[in-house]
Structure 1
Amino acid sequence: MTAPAARVLLLEDDPAIAQTVDFALSREGFEVRYCGWVHEARAQLARGDLDLAILDVGLPDGNGLDLCREMRQGPQARLPILVLSARSEEGDKVLGLELGADDYLAKPFSPRELVARVRALLRRSQAPAEPPVRTIGGFVIEAEGSRVRFHGELLPLTRRELGLLLRLLSAPRRIHSREVLLDAVWGMEADSGDRTVDTHIKTLRAKLRQVRPDLDPIRTHRGMGYSLE
């Protein structure tokens, strides 16, 4: 029996780019749901049956990064997100990652690279998480590693933040280098660097402080990496 096609939301207001992406993904067996407006994308997301979202940044009725942030705070918190943007500066990419995107591809781009990145995101999203079996300090791991509570509060973590926290929890007080964290959470084929790890650690710390402003359990070891104290 053939596996169902992965359902991809494409939010893009440029018809030529949308047609290129639609053709490249459809040819590889993906089901593409094209939207040119943010409100149309919200309607597709509300159906709850998508496997991945590709978001442009500048749209006629909103901003793709705002929608990305909105998704990370709602039922679609763990849906893989690839941001497409004409903005290629490092600061723009970092902002996209800080708001919850899993990957960022600047325009113009190769359709083959886009397909490869979509496949990589889907593989990583479907890979089983390594479930910690311990409760450590104020952390409680629930549902085989799919949820973490901190001092009784459920943490609203993205998939990357959850992966980083679980990795740190797997060996508390051990220093985990950025390279090890990147390989463990993003995969060996990830087109990312140390800055990506630092950005996600920053957002993870912010969520921990929302629960306990007096605590900072993640320790930075300059030039070495991070540990959980």
Structure 2
Amino acid sequence: MSTILVVEDDVDIRELERYALASNGYKVLEAENGKEAVSMLEQEDIDLVILDIMMPVMDGLSAIKAIRYTLQSSVPIIVVSAKGDESDIITALELGCDDYLTKPFSMNVLNSKIRAVLRRLSETNASSTVHHAGLLMDKEKHQCLLDGNEVELTATEFSLLYLLASTPEQVFTRNQMITKVKGSDYPVTDRSIDVQVATIRRKLGEYGQRIKTVWGIGYTYKES
């Protein structure tokens, strides 16, 4: 049974989320603000966090920073917020959240996102290989095969494609891609990422269409 921490200052919304998640078989813990959430993460074994942005004491963005940089935790975080501007979504993603859902929202959609994030995490932890309908990547061998034929990729191209393909449907900002592949201090521009992605698409041929541009944000990988 996966344990989910719901971080929400609105009692009615928190109760709705708690009931819906519990009905789907999850163990649910609750926090009223970011500070309380960070404290609970230090004490409890939590598999995923549902996090609001606008909260008293410590807001959601500050909580993401604390979770990622102070606690050094990689626990999946799904933001559920009324702040739906493109800039808000980009900021949360670049700070380290895994997905973003704007209010008002459907609990069916939230449950779908939770299942997808937990599934991706399980698959990533279970294997160093990625296999999607014709595409096979082996991280340990640094090998990329397309319908059984090897695709020649540079180290950076391989890392970028592996990042996207190993977490299908997850949207990455260009800055996230730079940080995850090269580190936060690496001098790479957003334009460089666009060029790398264009080259990967070309090398993959028709399969390159699986790498989708999310306008104004970054890129994601579709399995089909």
Question: TM-score of the superposition, structure 2-length normalised?
Answer: 0.68
Instruction: Using the TM superposition, give the Cα deviation of residue 204 of structure 1 relative to its aligned residue in structure 2, in angstroms.
Output: 3.5
Counterpart in the other structure of 1:104: 100
Match of 2:174 in 1: 198
Give the counterpart of 1:172 among 146, 150, 154. Answer: 154
- Give the CA deviation at 1:100: 0.2
Q: What letter is aligned with 2:54? A: G
Residue correspondence of structure 1 range 80-119 to structure 2 within 5 A: 80-119=76-115
State the percentage of identical aligned residues: 29
- Say which structure is richer in helix: 2
How many residue pairs end up in the alignment? 179
Displacement over 4 Å in runs of 4+ = 173-178, 180-183
Contact 1:10/1:32 (<8 A) preserved: yes
**Contact 1:177 1:226 (C-alpha < 8 Å) held by counterparts:** no
Deviations 1:80-124 (A, max 9, x none): 000111011111101100000000111000011001111111111
Q: CA deviation at 1:191?
A: 6.0
Task: Check whether the contact 2:38–2:66 (CA below 8 A) recurs between aligned residues.
Answer: no
| Cross-structure match for 1:224 | 198
Change (3 A) 1:181 1:15: same
Which residue number corresponds to residue 184 of structure 1? 165
* Structure 2 Cα separation of the partners of residues 93 and 19 of structure 1: 24
**Map of 2:19 onto structure 1:** 23
State the partner residue of 1:130: 128
Change (3 A) 1:52 1:225: farther
Return closer, same or farther for 1:129/1:67 CA change in 2, 3 Å cut-off: farther
Structure 1: state its 5+ residue gaps. 136-169
Does the 8 Å contact 1:65/1:96 carry over to 2? yes
1:43 Cα offset (Å): 2.2
Give unpaired runs (5+ residues) of structure 2: 130-138, 143-151, 202-224
